[in-house]
Chain A
Amino acid sequence: MSDGVKTILFATGLCLVCSLLLTMAATGLKAFQRENALVDRQKNILQAVGAVESGRSYPADAIKALYQSSIQCISIDDEGQVLSAKAAPKKVLPLYLYRADGQVKAYIIPVDSRGLWGRIYGYLALDTDGSTITGFSVYQHSETPGLGGEIENQWFQRNFVGKQIIDAEGNFVSIKIAKGAVEDAVRQDLKPNYVDGISGATMTGKFLSQGLEDILQTYEPVSVHFRNQGMLKLPENALVCQPPS
């Protein structure tokens, strides 16, 4: 057998063994990883409303129990009406409600935005006044660690708390990420609508601003309802939302 053939045979054999091992690892561990991802998403929802602290670790059971008792996921249509299980709607949007002491304290919008290197997934929580942000969290992204990756850090997410998605006249303006610190980069009257940007991550900020605006625009009917009439009317058998897979 010539050397060339031997080399090719060896390479083929090695590739087969490696791919077999990788397949085994990936399929064997999938159940655990999925469970972890689910708990992580629940933790991020709770984090967006401030029910758990970011950067601290909690036992999975505690997260699940807290989620069960305080978060309700309902489905709405694109006009902001809560759907009941009987309705057969065309377009369904998931919406989470946060309850504490028997009161709805906030509603949470799932965020799915473009980033510089991939999608950014997270949650944006708004107060029941329909305009004040109570928190923002990110559970999955592919931005560069240390630059755009800072979006998953506490200091960045904490900036969102208390910001407004409407201007002084009550018109929808969304929330935007400034280029630099809000203090220096933004006009006085726009400050409530901007959060501090990340240096070295201008593009991530630009895409995330756009993504947040699109999503808030989609959910604007719900926010308008909260602003004008308060809490949404929940039908007896509200359609449970489909959690993203």
Chain B
Amino acid sequence: MSTALVKITRTETYRTVSDALWQNNPISKQVLGICSSLAVTVQMNTAIVMALALTAVVACSNLIISLMRKMIPRNIRIIVEVAVIATLVIIADEVLKAFMYNISKQLSVFVGLIITNCIVMGRAETFAMSNPPLKSFVDGMANGIGYGSILVGVSFFRELLGSGKILGFPVVPQALYDMGYMDMGLMLLAPGAFIVIGLFVWLEHAILNR
């Protein structure tokens, strides 16, 4: 049992994922992609859909760019990266509009803004341009999950404290409201997200430094 665990923890995939989730998390460690993590974390379901959309885009863009990395002319590589990412983002947006219309309306421009998310561009430029396809794909997935983990974590607290719900289901009992409990309006606004993300960053640094 323990040898199997050691074997798993020694694989490169494990290290890539744990690195992106923890030691080198794109949001809490590199402080990238803050804009969207403020905007879409009022409710958990928008946060989850956003996390899935970004993971799909960053994994696919890493894979495609890595496949083409030997053919891409150096002088237009940034343009090529942007073109690939933009195409994937628009496809993701169209799919959301067709099959998850309500959530796509709530996400509004933020799906489109994945194009400008530094995480996607950053992974394409620093990792996919110099690594083989499979490794790049895993790296993209890992960074998407790292981004998503913070998004879902932040939205959990914002939805719970801000509207007394989790995934749209009321969890704060009516009796508590009758006793005078009130939802925290601050959590529904962007400053609430700043505070929660700040607490996440603090928590992570405190644990890592120990």
Contacts and interface: CB of A to CB of B under 8 A. Distances in A.
Interface stretch (B14-22, B76-84, B122-130, B176-184): B76-84
A203 interface: no
Interface stretch (B47-55, B101-109, B140-148, B199-207): B101-109
A230 interface: no
Range of interface residues on A (Cβ < 8 Å): 20 to 34
Nearest to B103: A57
Contacts of A6: 73
Contact of A25 (B71, B75, B91): B91
Nearest to B97: A33
A146 interface: yes
Interface in A4-32: 6-7, 10-11, 14-15, 18, 21-22, 25-26, 29, 32
B73 A3 contact: yes
B183 to A, nearest CB: 14
Given A10-B71, A10-B73, A29-B95, A40 B87 contact: no
Q: Which of B76, B79, B94, B109 has the most CB of A within 10 A?
A: B94
A145 interface: yes
Interface residues of B, number: 26
Nearest to A57: B102
B99 A32 contact: yes
Main secondary structure, interface of B, reads: helix
A80 interface: no
B187 to A, nearest CB: 15
A15 B86 CA distance: 11
A11 B76 contact: yes
B208 interface: no
B80 A14 contact: yes
B105 to A, nearest CB: 8
Contacts of B76: 7, 10-11
A15 B83 CA distance: 8
Contact of A32 (B86, B98, B190): B98
A36 interface: yes
B172 interface: no
Contact of B108 (A18, A22, A32, A145): A145
Nearest to B104: A36
A25 B90 contact: yes
A145 B39 contact: yes
Contacts of A36: 97-98, 101
B84 to A, nearest CB: 7
5 contacts: A7-B76, A21-B87, A25-B91, A29-B95, A39-B101
Q: Which 3 A-B pairs have CB atoms at the shortest separation, nearest pair first?
A: A32-B98, A36-B101, A29-B98
